[in-house]
Chains A and B, each alone.
Chain A
């Protein structure tokens, strides 16, 4: 199993550009999440999904869109990038509702100029 994979590893955008961060998992996990990590802030939840076709907002959803058309994939879209979105983005998945550890991808380091 590859676990949770994320692409790209690094990305530089200009303000106003759009892009999609890819996330895929091969463990047939129901739950998937996106977090951002900024220095001194820990991880903050952006969006999450509890199954294909179901998504919901986390703590910091503004400026981001998600969709979950398949169990495996959970892309994160930045429609109009802003410097405040410079961060490291982590995708994670877990098997089900409760008592499950969460598996993390290696992260995408995004810089918005």
Chain B
């Protein structure tokens, strides 16, 4: 079964607004990662947060991790049309191989 589950499944916003996506997972993790996938392309790594970290920033991205609730969130500030993509969280357990959720489809309208 898939470890992580993203919420919402789909998100539609206007350019300039913030986008927040959530990820819940089932078992303990070593780290959690977020990836982006543009339509028909491979996945691109966005950010990694370790299990002992609570928050991490990278440009317009902010990731939080709450291991007590087994959840993470990805915030994209000041969204652009180019941010339109699917976003996946990935967690790794004992094997250190990331397993993925079903993703959130984000549409940013110009």
Contact = CB atoms under 8 A, between A and B. Distances in A.
A35 B102 CA distance: 13
- The contact size tier of chain A is 20 to 34
B100 A31 contact: no
A33 interface: yes
Contacts of B95: 48, 50, 56
Interface size class of B (residues with CB under 8 A): 20 to 34
A98 B43 contact: no
B91 to A, nearest CB: 12
Given A31-B96, A48-B95, A59 B45 contact: no
B103 A101 contact: no
A74 interface: no
A105 B103 CA distance: 18
